[in-house]
Chains A and B, each alone.
Chain A
Amino acid sequence: MITLMTLAPLAAAILILAMPAQRARFTALLGALVSFTLTSWMLLQFDGNLIEVKHQWIPDLDINYHVGLDATNALVLFLAALLAPIVVCISWKHSDRPKTYFALLSIQFTGLFGTFTALNFFHWFIYWELALVPAFFLIKLFGKSEDRHKAAINFFLFTVLGSVAMLLGFLFLYQNTESFNFIELPEKIKSVEMNSLIFVAILAGLWVKVPLAPLHIWQAPAYAAAPTPVVILLTGVMSKMGVYGFLRLIVPIFPEQLRQHSEMLLGIALLTILWGAFLALRQTDLKKILAFSSLNHVAYCVLGIGALGIAANELKVDAHELVKQGIILQMFAHGLSAAGLFYLVGLLEQRTGIRNRDEFGGLCSVTPRFAAMFYSLTFCSLGLPFLAGFAAEFLIFSGSFALAPKMTALATLGLLATAVFLLTMLQRVFTGPINEKYQSMPDLTRNEILILTPIMILVIWAGTYPKTWLSFSQITP
């Protein structure tokens, strides 16, 4: 089932290449929908315990085909599977080299799903890289701005350098433990002497992917250059790969190293949170504002990871579990809200051709439905209660405050700065006198609202009643 779910988009990609161009989008949608349906069906039966599929491949090297669904990846897999059909729908009207485009998208879906389900390092790494390559081509071939080539190369180089470091780290790890199995590694690692360089190498790969300061500089140009559907994948799912990597690799496999380096991680996360927020304050390009906002939001997850490294002694709250659930929910929440916001900015760009915050004005009265959606998602992003962002951030903060009070207290400054730049964005775009040029800008169409509806529903659902969603990330007793 998991295998089918992972490979369905890949099969779609192969079919797309074999079929006439006008059927490409249907095939891609079909592949994504198959994955989504299978994922939903699996989640309905999921009770928090590991569901796994294991086939021998090269047993001598402990390389096996091993995929599974457990509390760590269930929600983020669902997010990826949900965004996949949405992304295809968003690019429905795409007419430039459709075969290449949809095939690349589908391949990327497979890469993403594979990364979230794989439990053996070998093919996990293959998927990890598989998710990267189509993104590179999608930015380079289908990006709009002039600097897309540079942005794509930058993105690729940074990520590949990180991946190389991680690969090396894992090879050393294999030498020490002779295991590639994510489930068994935590046990095996206890009995061997570990070089902290291995930890650093793996950390580096995730560091770039998340990204964290100071390796974040690929992010904003790449987000700004990429076509909207690709940005949605980049911010909605790919940045989650990094955080997921932390949860899957760093937390269970390197508890000791995490403990030693937690101060550093907390510091870096704090730096990223504040830096991202302050950078966003100065931008006028809407996509860059959202890119830095993403940087800031995903860094809350890493703040939580850093806090997980601190031992919980005599606390009145179950801080580690709070943080862990908060991180998972934050991935989910941010994936949804960022996807929605980038989609809306993409629509704005499509309608007006620009995305400079200062060139709009008064859109509130021109396009009320558009504004309502944009406001709601922005409020989710700035952590307004009863929307998904707040529940997640509160859980992270409540846990990490118990573990690392000072750092967390400082990190709340990020919430303040987030409010400032998001509200400034709303103010410039939607309020004030109406810009004559965009007076007749069309409001959201029925189809566009239809695409946004699942996102909105989930944002509100996860905000008011996160229990449903957290039941997937907690092992039900």
Chain B
Amino acid sequence: MADVRQIVIDIISDIAPDEDVTNLDDKVSLREQLDLDSMDFLDIVMELRKRHKVEVPQEDYPKLATLESCVSYLSPKFA
């Protein structure tokens, strides 16, 4: 089973390399913890598609708000 949490963190590390991603709270919004803007979330979606062939339709973008919601939403797509 894919470690979806780590997959998302790896992508964020590449997109925002200046950020410290070692102590993220899974329940708190990523944007509250990191300097991420809407273009960064588009990059996350793009990398999920490029690296893992996982598609996230625009209406589901809010489901990427926290690490917990990312895992919950994306895990079935990696199953």
Chains A and B are bound partners: no
